[in-house]
């Protein structure tokens, strides 16, 4: 059991899976918790277990972050609760079916949760943390952010937003005492897959990481000060190479005239 205190962490999507694992690990690190999800029963059971095991205070916050009123209540807590020093934006849903076989209303709901809720909660927390000169924001993305062909395109797009948004946050807040980390898990053993329409039993076992191992790796990345943590990636040099190429490309993305290839018409066939 951790004997020091680190303030409090607010974790969304905390009733099971990745969010619950974060709650357990952060409590052992000395954080009190505010755990947010829709299912009161699962939240209360988790809160009781964590409190008994660690002695940390755990507040249950029942909210559906796709609903404006519920989202606004969580935003208010982030702005007003001076004990909060960490936000874990974990709540999200996924999909595996291609666009032609997806329900567009469900895709809109996914954007509300994966993008809009995460963005608004970050907007609530980041200025408060910056004003105090202390805080951490952990955003859960996915390897689909850099490999969008893997799953449903809207899902990949939402997770690409999370990656890009987090990179921008780091650029804006790094000198203000706010640590930003974006985590890109691969396939993880949670209920995500069944909810998304693909039972986890359909996936090769060697490609699925236990949820506890994934969160432990993500927290190790946080300790290392990583902006981007990809728990499954064997060699961080591969990510560094991609980032180096992206930054090199950035210098050439805005110029006064089109590239030469667009100023010369191809020869007539």
Q: How many CA atoms lie within 13 A of 171 on its CB side?
A: 6
Q: How far apart are CA 267 and CA 248, in angstroms?
A: 31
3-class secondary-structure state, position 113:
helix
Element (H, E) at 88: strand 84-89
Q: Which two tokens stand for residue 212?
A: 């506890």
Pairs from 58-62 (Cβ < 8 Å, separation ≥ 24): 58/23, 58/27, 58/32, 58/33, 58/34, 59/32, 59/33, 59/34, 59/35, 60/35, 61/10, 61/34, 61/35, 61/36, 62/36, 62/37, 62/38
Q: What angle do CA 79, 118, 201 make, to 5 degrees?
A: 135
The residue assigned the tokens 């007003």 is: 80
Q: What angle do CA 95, 121, 230 make, to 5 degrees?
A: 55
Cα–Cα distances (Å) from 72 to 78, 117, 156, in that order, read 10, 10, 26
Say whether 155 is catalytic: yes
Cα–Cα distances (Å) from 141 to 63, 161, 186, 231, in that order, read 21, 9, 10, 12
Q: Which of 31, 123, 155, 262 is catalytic?
A: 155
Q: How far apart are CA 152 and CA 101, in angstroms?
A: 10
Q: How far apart are CA 158 and CA 160, in angstroms?
A: 5
Catalytic positions: 155
């Amino acid at each position: 059991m951790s004997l020091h205190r680190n303030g409090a962490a607010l974790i969304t999507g905390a009733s099971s899976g990745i969010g619950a694992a974060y709650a357990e690990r952060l409590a052992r690190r000395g954080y009190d918790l505010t755990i947010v999800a829709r299912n009161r029963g699962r939240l209360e059971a988790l809160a009781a277990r964590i409190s008994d095991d660690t002695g940390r205070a755990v507040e249950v916050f029942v909210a559906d972050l796709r609903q404006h009123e519920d989202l606004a209540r969580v935003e208010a807590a982030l702005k007003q609760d001076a004990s909060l020093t960490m936000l874990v934006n974990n709540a999200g849903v996924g999909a595996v079916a291609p666009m032609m076989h997806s329900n567009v209303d469900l895709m809109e709901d996914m954007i509300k949760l994966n993008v809009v809720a995460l963005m608004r909660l970050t907007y609530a927390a980041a200025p408060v943390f910056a004003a105090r000169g202390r805080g951490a924001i952990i955003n859960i993305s996915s390897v689909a952010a850099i490999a969008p062909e893997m799953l449903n395109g809207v899902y990949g797009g939402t997770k690409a937003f999370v990656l890009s948004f987090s990179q921008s946050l780091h650029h804006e807040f790094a000198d203000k005492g706010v640590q930003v980390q974006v985590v890109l898990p691969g396939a993880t053993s949670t209920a995500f897959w069944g909810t998304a329409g693909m039972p986890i039993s359909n996936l090769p076992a060697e490609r699925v990481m236990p949820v506890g191992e994934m969160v432990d790796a993500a927290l190790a990345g946080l300790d290392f000060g990583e902006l981007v943590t990809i728990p499954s990636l064997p060699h961080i040099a591969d990510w560094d190479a991609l980032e180096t190429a992206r930054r090199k490309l950035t210098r050439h993305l805005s110029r006064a005239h089109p590239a030469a290839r667009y100023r010369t018409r191809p020869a007539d066939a």
